[in-house]
Structure 1
């Protein structure tokens, strides 16, 4: 990595700017906590959901999993039929970082693992998403983090606006360690976002206003 100052920030969305949690829906559907945890760990789990973030159609995913677990078909169907009930709005501290950077004129992008079928709801209902210079959605690209190719595709999109942009000029903020490690491996600066105050402090240490 060179000593070049970072000039562009790329945000993950879920867990950084959006409060998304399947538990918000399934608390209503499975009242027993141990049963609910088992279902979300073993049936509609994160690995299954990630396949939809990688572009698999929601209808196909629902049908396959329902055939595998017919006794849970009603709950499986609810996962995407009532997906909006998992979205708890925005995260205030993450949004404060976003807004401080935006106010200072820092170019902002988003790179998110998100189904291409559900993301339009967020785009339509959360106007701040239109304030990014670009949002790269994994479901549209048929690639998910931490695949190196999706980061390269993000850099290509950034270079449409900033043709000379280099990896060391980018800061990536994500709440998943493996996604952060993948960005680091490509020469990006990256922050594992677990504490908004720590994220803001790291950005300030690199000369970015928060």
Structure 2
């Protein structure tokens, strides 16, 4: 194995819009309904593909005017979606970087407008050789084209010797179909165990 590719959201940095909307709505059930049915994944992923957040907000407000106040909160209070770094995974990344045995890349679905905030607030992102941000390349996971683009940009060939780590089942399924070894991330302890099973040199202090 020569290259390890990390997802960022919910692998290295905790993200969940419910962290915001549980403050906004009276019950968890109301918050969950809103996130699932109004600010849903398909809408959010178009920003990951490069759609401007201002345009996305206006489109959704026009579709659901009853929820204008709550919709505008999505990006007005966007940083409240985050729970911070996931310490165990960050420690794994730091150990891999210190060992110097692998290329370390990241592939993230993230708005190009918003990703600078992550770079400013999480210095461990500097440990990656590079980060491919979906909103910057106008492609997103789990579409095959972003993986092909990744292979081309970083000269990864047919992905032999590459390991991809992501919390999404569908992203991992696409990656596997294209020749990547994959670990579906659940928690840092499980990740560490699966890395060791693959012979990855990672020894935490």
Normalised by the length of structure 2, the TM-score is 0.93
CA distance in 2, matches of 1:187, 1:122: 29
1:87 equivalent to 2:82? Answer yes
Q: Which residue of 1 aligns with 2:104?
A: 108
CA distance in 1, matches of 2:157, 2:196: 20
Residue pair 2:94, 2:124 contacting (<8 A) in 1 also: no
Q: Which residue of 2 aligns with 1:10?
A: 5
Deviations 1:7-30 (A, max 9, x none): 110000011001111111112211
Residue pair 2:163, 2:180 contacting (<8 A) in 1 also: yes
**Runs of at least 4 residues of structure 1 off by over 4 A?**
none
Deviations 1:177-206 (A, max 9, x none): 110111111111111111322221221222
Count of residue correspondences: 201
CA distance in 1, matches of 2:43, 2:72: 13
CA distance in 2, matches of 1:131, 1:166: 24
Q: Which residue of 2 aligns with 1:3?
A: none
Deviations 1:119-140 (A, max 9, x none): 1110111111122101000011
User: What is the deviation of 1:165?
Assistant: 5.3
Q: Which residue of 2 aligns with 1:57?
A: 52
Deviations 1:130-162 (A, max 9, x none): 221010000111111111111111122222xxx
Q: Which residue of 2 aligns with 1:191?
A: 183
SS for the counterpart of 1:19 is strand
Q: Which residue of 2 aligns with 1:180?
A: 172
SS for the counterpart of 2:9 is coil
Q: Which residue of 2 aligns with 1:171?
A: 163
CA distance in 2, matches of 1:45, 1:165: 35
CA distance in 2, matches of 1:46, 1:131: 29
The worse-fitting range, judged by mean Cα deviation, of 25-34 and 13-22 is: 25-34
Structure 1 stretches of 5 or more lacking a match?
1-5
Give RMSD over aligned pairs.
Answer: 1.3
The counterpart of 1:124, out of the listed 110, 120, 126, is 120
User: What is the deviation of 1:166?
Assistant: 4.5
